[in-house]
Amino acid sequence: MGFSLVEELPKLLWMVIGVAAFLAVIGALLFLVDAGARKSRVEWWQATLFLAPALILLFLGLVYPVFRTTLLSFMDGQGGNWVGLDNYVRMFTQPELLTVLRNTLLWVLFGPVLATAVGLLYALLVDRRRFESVAKSLVFMPMAISFVGASIIWKFIYAYRPAEAEQIGLLNQIIVWFGGEPRLWLLETPLNTLLLIVVLIWVQAGFAMVVLSAAIKAIPDDIIEAARIDGTGLWSHFWNITLPSVWPTLTVVLITISVQTLKVFDIVRTMTGGQYETSVIANEMYAQAFRYNELGMGSALAVFLFVLVIPLVIVQMRTNRRLREEQR
């Protein structure tokens, strides 16, 4: 196989065309805006020209699909007949789909909290140490790996071979060294979902660590100085000084990772394909809509996911606004 430039040429060309099209649009806009004359009308035109592409794309890419998906979620598989709330009723009664919801709940409960906690702990531990930058980049590195790549790495870590054979999985090898029996990690429900969450933590902890580390460094020195003169212990310093100071940042990190977690699809798909009772909403949505031709059920799951994400996004926007106002 290998990479042949000639064969890939059309794809590259499409990429170039895409970029060129983007530049052409922007160029044309600038051209028109530049070519305009007189102020007040011009400003109105300018605003329209700059906002229109974004608004049109937003409508086509977000508003319209949300509307259509919501309609589809009240229809049956082929998207032809109205079935009312059937899909939603099934979602909360069918044992298999309840398992999916349970798993998503597990993900949301454990993923963001643990990833943030690990990130915070690490940021505190390496803060103002000698090798801080090296230590930080070690934890930050998994961020550069896609979820699919990370999943493949961890699939090897959890790999199983019978006791009499050479272990190829790190986890089972460690257990064998300690005299235990190798186990089929990915088959043990609900432990397997937690093992999948570990992959998310591994990738996201670096992000949490970097952001929180910056927040810790931003705590004003005089506060720390004052605390030290008052003689606070480590623990109370953390509870009374560090945590309140980084709290806004902490919520931002938590929510960002929570949204990521709700949408999680690639880890589950790569590691278990949603088998062994590890499926989550995003995974089930894809399977229902595109593999089983149950477009209605898939849409209902999508709508439910959308509803779950909305409050997080609202909180996120509020926090951001508050932060901006504080900075002024």
Partner 1 sequence: MPMFPNPRTTIATALSLVLLTGGCAYLSGEGGTAGADPDSPECEPYAQWQDIGGTVSVYASIRDEEAERMERSWQMFAECTGIDIQYEGSGEFEAQVQVKVDGGNAPDIAFFPQPGLLERFADSGDLVPAPEGVQQLAEEGWSQDWLDYATIDGELYATPLGANFKSFVWYSPTFFSDNGYEVPQTWDELIALSDTIAADGTKPWCAGLESGDATGWPATDWIENVILRENGPEIYDQWVNHEIPFNDPRIADAFGRADEILRNPDYVNGGFGNVQSIAITSFQEAGLPILDGDCGMYLMGSFYAAQWPEGTEVSETGDVYAFNLPPIDPDQGTPVMGGGEFVGAFADRPEVVAVREYLATAEYANNRAAEGAWFSAHQGLDLETLEVPTDRLGAEILRDPDTVFRFDGSDLMPAEVGAGTFWRGMVNWINGEETDAILDYIENSWSS
- State the residues that interact with partner 1 by CB under 8 A: 1, 10, 13-14, 16-17, 20-21, 23-24, 27-28, 30-31, 34-35, 37, 77-78, 96, 160-163, 165, 184, 186-187, 269, 273, 275-277, 286-288, 290-294
Comparing CB distances to partner 1, the nearer of 105 and 184 is 184
Comparing CB distances to partner 1, the nearer of 238 and 290 is 290
Comparing CB distances to partner 1, the nearer of 172 and 256 is 172
CA distance 211 to 215: 6
Comparing CB distances to partner 1, the nearer of 278 and 316 is 278
Least separation in angstroms between CB 287 and partner 1: 7
Least separation in angstroms between CB 107 and partner 1: 20
DSSP string, 163-196: TTSPP-SHHHHHHHHTT-----GGGSTTHHHHHH
Q: Which phi and psi (to 5°) does residue 85 adopt?
A: -90, 10
Least separation in angstroms between CB 79 and partner 1: 9
Give the distance from CA 185 to its chain's centroid.
24
Comparing CB distances to partner 1, the nearer of 19 and 52 is 19
Least separation in angstroms between CB 184 and partner 1: 5
Q: Which residue has the tokens 């700059």?
A: 50
3-class secondary structure, 3: coil
Q: Where are the beta strands (DSSP E) in 158-305?
A: none
Least separation in angstroms between CB 323 and partner 1: 36
Q: Which residue has the tokens 């430039």?
A: 5
Q: Which residue has the tokens 């849409």?
A: 299
CA distance 79 to 298: 11
Least separation in angstroms between CB 70 and partner 1: 17
CA distance 47 to 43: 6
CA distance 211 to 168: 36
Comparing CB distances to partner 1, the nearer of 17 and 214 is 17
